[in-house]
Copies of this chain bind each other. A is one copy, B any other.
Amino acid sequence: MTIRSSTKLSDAIHLLAYIRYFKGDDLSSEAIAKSIETSPVVVRRLMSQLSHAGLLITTRGKAQPELTIPEDQLTLLAIQQAVDPHPILTVDRKTNPKCPVGGHIQTILTDHYQEVEAAAKKQMAAITLADIMTDLHEANRKDELK
């Protein structure tokens, strides 16, 4: 059994950053897709997940998505939970229950993986879209000087 670690979080942050960076401009799924270099459907799917999670307001037929909360309150953790809520580490679920090791390792690993997960989540909760926007504006400011 395998679970893929996707680029959904990456693309979702990209999408949200785009919405904020180009607010007032063309915010259609088509325009955003060109920046992410993917298809508009992928963008709409991500936006759909974000709006279902209550992080974004979208309207059918209207290319004007809007954040529901301030940038500095929108954490990477919230975005990840919305678009890609998979645990970081995966426990093998197919071990021999009759073996003293195979019969207990799953529970034991689940507990310890939880600790790792918690550490990662704590850090993801400490990074917000505002941080990303600051970095973005700084990077573009430096570009201008060249």
Task: Give residues in A with beta carbon < 8 Å to B.
Answer: 1-7, 9-11, 13-14, 17-18, 21-22, 34-38, 76, 86, 88-92, 94-96, 99-102, 104-105, 107-109, 111-112, 115-116, 118-120, 122-124, 126-127, 131-132, 135-136, 139-140, 143
Give A37 to B5 CA distance when docked, in angstroms.
24
Closest to A127 in B: B112
Give A95 to B37 CA distance when docked, in angstroms.
5
Give A90 to B130 CA distance when docked, in angstroms.
20
Flag if B91 contacts A10 (CB, 8 Å).
Answer: yes
Flag if B101 contacts A35 (CB, 8 Å).
Answer: yes
Supposing A5-B88, A14-B102 touch, asked if A120 and B127 sit within 8 A by C-beta, the answer is no
